Amino acid sequence: MNTQSAIDRQILRIALPSIVSNITVPLLGLADTAIAGHLGSPVYIGAIAVGGMMFNIIYWIFGFLRMGTSGMTSQAYGRGDMAEAYRLLARSVMLGMGIALGLIALQVPLREGAFLIVRPTAEVEAQATAYFHICIWGAPAMLGLYGLTGWYIGMQNSRTPMLVAIAQNVVNIAASLTLVYACGMKVEGVALGTLIAQWAGFLAALALWVRRYGDLRQYRLRGLWQRAAMSRFFGVNRDIFLRTLCLVAVTLFFTAAGAAQGDIILAVNALLMQLFTLYSYIMDGFAYAGEALAGRHIGAGNGQMLRLTVKRLFAWGGGMAVLFTLAYAIGGEGFLHLLTDNREVVQAAADYFPWALAIPAAGMAAFVWDGVFIGATATRGMLAAMATAAVCFFGLYYGLRGAMGNHALWLAFIAYLAIRGIVQSLMAIPRLRGK
């Protein structure tokens, strides 16, 4: 019991601040949208929505900078190799900066490519262009912060990323309000507020690193570009990058397939997906705990603690799945009414609501295993599970859409979530038992 309680405390010490951090992430975009919504024209709302979507996709694709760094750092922490932990931070931040400079250099073709897909009106495009060309200069801060955040989690410290995320939101709201209402700016003011918040977050994370971990500079950076270490670093990040592309493909296709069925179905799917998003904010916190603790125990060569930690992660994940299923069953319709007052959309959503109730149970294992696999740097397995699930998603949808319509889309999505967890279980359980 003492060991179990100790593991639970370790899980919650990492998971709870991570959950707070996750919840604050959409607040940056929400604050921008709220300010734009009071500028007097829907064009400004559309511009923020289009510009925000472009950056969400860009930064989502490069999320491997956080995940890969977390897993490798947690293993270095577990074996007490602080010199390698320091080198991992340097590699991740430098790679993020290099990618960011590439994004800045390619900002015009990136913008034009996005507009070819989204096709906004001329007025929205003009304002979104202004927003994009200001916020793109935050790419070095955002991608650098990804590396720092992953490193902090790998070092069993999720409190610092939480404090940085909260500070970012405060700075964003204050700066945007000042620039828009005190300085008379419009979309440019919102964009500059976001840019200021991004750099403030990055600099705050650096300052906190110097304060707590500055002694690691004694190791210098000898062996930073050592071939074997770089090969592993890029191999892990490559697998996560390809996995993320599969995830993005499924997510964007889900939205596009709903849109092709009309405005009502598009709205229904968007509302019900908010239930998945809310669940993911919580479960990602436990996934982060899995990254940190699994990597730590693997680095320390402690198979017994690894198995116990995985069991407790699944216990917490199962509890969250039951809790969310009950909450959605009891209050789901009320939640939909909070999001919209359109009765037609809410009524139409009732036909598909059972699929939303299946999300927590179907997706729980995938979230937990993702964290454990990242901590184990078993990224090839993650990629294989995601690719298998994505193929099944598209196969089920195209095979059943003629007979089931939008129900086929939801069935494919639920199966996609479940298959990820099943495939990862088949890979991981024999290995855990064999340790």
Residue 203: burial class (beta carbons within 10 Å; 0-12, 13-18, 19+): middle
Sign (positive or negative) of CA dihedral 244, 386, 19, 78: negative
Structure-block tokens of residue 201: 């977050």
Give residue 420's pLDDT.
96
- Distance, in Å, from the CA atom of 418 to the CA atom of 426, rounded to the nearest integer, reads 12
Contacts 24+ apart (CB under 8 A), 205-214: 205/145, 205/148, 205/149, 205/152, 205/160, 205/161, 205/164, 206/148, 208/160, 208/163, 208/164, 209/148, 212/160, 213/155
Question: CA-based angle 198:204:210, to the nearest 5?
Answer: 140
Query: Distance of alpha carbon 86 from its chain centroid, rounded?
Result: 24
Say what the alpha-carbon torsion angle 258, 263, 264, 266 is, to the nearest 10 degrees: 30
Structure-block tokens of residue 174: 């204050």
Give residue 340's pLDDT.
66
Give residue 263's pLDDT.
73
Give residue 123's pLDDT.
82
Write out the chain's pLDDT in tens, 435 residues. Answer: 578 889 999 999 999 999 998 888 777 666 777 777 667 667 777 777 778 878 888 888 898 899 999 999 999 999 999 999 999 999 999 999 999 999 999 999 988 888 887 677 778 888 888 989 999 999 999 999 999 999 999 999 999 999 999 999 899 889 989 998 888 788 889 899 999 999 999 999 999 999 999 898 888 777 777 788 788 888 888 999 999 999 989 988 888 888 787 878 887 888 888 888 889 999 999 999 999 999 999 999 999 999 999 999 999 999 999 999 999 899 877 777 776 666 777 788 888 889 999 999 999 999 999 999 999 999 999 999 999 999 999 999 999 998 898 899 999 999 999 999 999 999 998 888 765
Give residue 368's pLDDT.
96
Structure-block tokens of residue 138: 């935050």
Which residue type is seen at 23? Answer: I
pTM passes above 0.75: yes
- Distance, in Å, from the CA atom of 73 to the CA atom of 81, rounded to the nearest integer, reads 9
**DSSP three-state, residue 108:** helix
